[in-house]
Amino acid sequence: MSNESLANLLKEERRFAPPADLAANANVTAAAYEQAAADRLGFWAEQAERLSWETAPTQTLDWSNAPFAKWFADGKLNVAYNCVDRHVENGLGDRVAIHFEGEPGDTRAITYAELQREVSKTANALTELGVRSGDRVAVYMPMIPEAVIAMLACARLGAPHSVVFGGFSADALATRINDADARVVITADGGYRRGKPSALKPAVDEALTRPGTENVRSVLVVRRTGQEDVAWHEGRDVWWHEIVERQSDRHTPEAFEAEHPLFILYTSGTTGKPKGILHTTGGYLTQVSYTHHAVFDLKPETDVFWCTADVGWVTGHSYITYGPLSNGATQVLYEGTPDTPHQGRWWEIVQKYGVTILYTAPTAIRACMKWGDDIPAKFDLSSLRVLGSVGEPINPEAWMWYRKHIGADATPIVDTWWQTETGAMMLSPLPGVTATKPGSAQVALPGIAATVVDDEAREVPDGAGGYLVLTEPWPSMLRTIWGDDQRYLDTYWSRFEGKYFAGDGAKKDDDGDIWLLGRVDDVMLVSGHNISTTEVESALVSHPKVAEAAVVGAADPQTTQAICAFVILRGGATAEDEGLVEELRAHVAQQLGPIAKPRRILPVAELPKTRSGKIMRRLLRDVAENRDLGDVTTLTDSSVMDLIQAKLPSAP
Ligand code: WT7
């Protein structure tokens, strides 16, 4: 990518220093960068001491068979013991681990002592169902405590889990069960979504009629909604309350080798069959525990942490289940959607539990912006002290809104860049150290080596753009793609020799800070200039009448690609407003330069998003290029595309 133009496209001058009291009492200071730079492996060996090992490791990294890494290979530990039992042994049994808030308003507070009993009973039940170390278990659950308990019970037995997001179809579930050759499925009758019960068990039944799922011998079913007529397969299906409740609440955890598989998590990706990303035990837990402590400045005695992700995504694995619990944190687990029964539900939850650290995604922040400033203003959000963002580049205006309307114009924002593959956070400001810049993930965390390179793998100078790469192995890195070592090599390690290719475009600003520019497939080529979809979207969102924007490059005979923008308008603005489209085009030109001025701007009611909240630009490109739509099955709501297409005739 030779995008000299990019460096000048976005000039962000705003800086926010860490609050003085936070900086003075921060868990991690600037010294961590120096320590890790002087001795990276020594730094990680020290972080591994955060965990309780049955056999302490004497080796840190074995990179002799690169890029197949082994971390802490001669150490042994049990992940569930680290997340649960050791806190009870340390006298913290009465601390609340999980404040569960169901969508209908039912609640449960689960202490660490209770969590230990529940995880033990569930491990005993899985053992009765024949689950042994190494067996794969699929988990297809709503956001209820049993989802976390099921993951921990699997980890306790050394049985790798494969959590499949509860919003996925029977087909997606079947493909994943087949690929991992799962033996048991843990599910629920359903969960609550948008004010009503939404069934899950029928999708499991359907998935298990597909070829390749024959090895599933048991389906363990939590009764959550109790409202459906649940079809029952005698001999295969077992109610959770029948088998788990009668087990002993004692279970002795076995220690596993640090490289024992912990879980497989499938990334949907845009092409090909889903990749089963494999994570292992010791290195993964070390990095999720350290980053959760460092990036959120977690004080487990006083903080109340809330990550709004679903456990079906890696964010939920690392920053609901494993990071917070390994650190003995108290956290909120919320089952439902942010606007049920009203658009202030999240802020009501923050107020109710006194949430101090909130971790969410830009797509959610932009939805809240669209609903209006007056909604969070009705709630007491003064408990919040650190705000996090993850999942895609956060537009500077969304960042500013988050800080101002949620963070009382004072709370640091940590924009955390990472991936399913990286297992844990990789780039992020530290809340007590970094002067933050709206829209930038900025710097590699201590112990992480990242940079931006050009097409020839040369590091770009400050002020230039290229590809984000990771130049040294890290403890929570994926170990391979399940069953496909070659695809692991091809996808991540073949683009640039000896470097991990993340697939994201990025640039360094004049201070050397890193800005993410979206997936490389999302960079447009306009009259010989590389222009990032993210930057044009951010320019549009910085206009007061735009709530959200999605930008694509449509094939164009003159300019290679022409910029086509889909926008959701804010407040009272409508597509019919005289001159609004012209005003927006001029606004982008003024922000980024005339080259970035969109050829077309189409106001729409909704944007097509995947279930993890990522905009499906591929479909918008189909619309912009007047093609038939490709696969729409992973959209949250496929009717969105009909609405967008209906708009087309009125386009300029
Ligand atoms: C891709 C990974 C990491 C958990 C959620 C997503 C994008 C993620 C950021 C960020 C800019 C980001 C990247 C990355 N991404 N966080 N803070 N700034 N982009 O996990 O589904 O594996 O997606 O999400 O494009 O490669 P995932």
Residue whose CB lies within 8 A of the most ligand 1 atoms, among 295, 504, 609, for a mutation test: 504
Is the complex ipTM higher than 0.90?
yes
Q: Could you tell me whether strands 529-532 and 523-526 are parallel, antiparallel, or unpaired per DSSP bridges?
A: antiparallel
Ligand 1 atom at shortest distance from the alpha carbon of 516:
11
Q: What is the pLDDT of residue 534?
A: 87
| Residue position matching structure tokens 């209770």 | 114
Q: Could you tell me whether strands 523-526 and 256-257 are parallel, antiparallel, or unpaired per DSSP bridges?
A: unpaired
Q: What is the pLDDT of residue 274?
A: 85
Cβ-count burial 164-182 (b if 16+ within 10 Å, e if not): bbbbbebebbbbbbbbbbb
Which residues does 52 contact at the CB level (< 8 Å), separation at least 6? 77, 81, 82, 86
417 assigned binding-site residue? yes
Cα 157 to ligand 1 centre (Å): 30
Cβ of 516 less than 6 Å from ligand 1:
yes
Helix (H, G, I), strand (E, B) or coil at 151: helix
Element (H, E) at 275: strand 275-280
Cβ of 610 less than 6 Å from ligand 1:
no
State the pTM of this model.
0.90
pLDDT band at 496 (very low <50, low <70, confident <90, very high): very high
Specify the DSSP class assigned to residue 426: -
Mean pLDDT for the stretch of residues 14-29? 97
Helix (H, G, I), strand (E, B) or coil at 597: coil
- The protein residue with its alpha carbon nearest to ligand 1, atom 17, reads 417
Cβ of 175 less than 6 Å from ligand 1:
no
Cβ-count burial 602-637 (b if 16+ within 10 Å, e if not): bbbeebbbebbbbbbbbbbbbbbeeeebeebebbee
Helix (H, G, I), strand (E, B) or coil at 302: coil
- The protein residue with its alpha carbon nearest to ligand 1, atom 1, reads 419
Tokens representing residue 315 in the block: 């964010």
Cβ-contact 534, 494 below 8 angstroms: no
How far is 506 from 52, CA to CA, in rounded Å?
Answer: 37
- Alpha helix segments (H runs only) across 450-560: 485-488, 533-541
Q: Could you tell me whether strands 330-334 and 304-307 are parallel, antiparallel, or unpaired per DSSP bridges?
A: parallel
How far is 203 from 386, CA to CA, in rounded Å?
Answer: 38
How far is 632 from 610, CA to CA, in rounded Å?
Answer: 9
- The protein residue with its alpha carbon nearest to ligand 1, atom 11, reads 393
How far is 526 from 532, CA to CA, in rounded Å?
Answer: 10
Cβ-contact 76, 51 below 8 angstroms: no
> Which candidate, 218, 124, 118, places its Cα nearest to that of 177?
218
Ligand 1 atom at shortest distance from the alpha carbon of 389:
17
pLDDT band at 617 (very low <50, low <70, confident <90, very high): confident
For the stretch 184-202, pLDDT in tens is 999 999 999 999 999 999 9
121 assigned binding-site residue? no
Cβ of 420 less than 6 Å from ligand 1:
yes
42 assigned binding-site residue? no
pLDDT band at 630 (very low <50, low <70, confident <90, very high): low
Cα 389 to ligand 1 centre (Å): 10
Query: Whole-number mean pLDDT of the chain?
Result: 93
29 assigned binding-site residue? no
| Residue position matching structure tokens 């494969």 | 162
40 assigned binding-site residue? no
How far is 631 from 614, CA to CA, in rounded Å?
Answer: 15
Cβ of 476 less than 6 Å from ligand 1:
no
Mean pLDDT for the stretch of residues 627-632? 70
For the stretch 577-591, pLDDT in tens is 778 999 999 999 988
pLDDT band at 4 (very low <50, low <70, confident <90, very high): very low
pLDDT band at 268 (very low <50, low <70, confident <90, very high): low
Cβ of 519 less than 6 Å from ligand 1:
yes
Partnered with residue 275 across adjacent β-strands are 267
> Which candidate, 534, 540, 546, 554, places its Cα nearest to that of 588?
540
Cα 609 to ligand 1 centre (Å): 14
393 assigned binding-site residue? yes
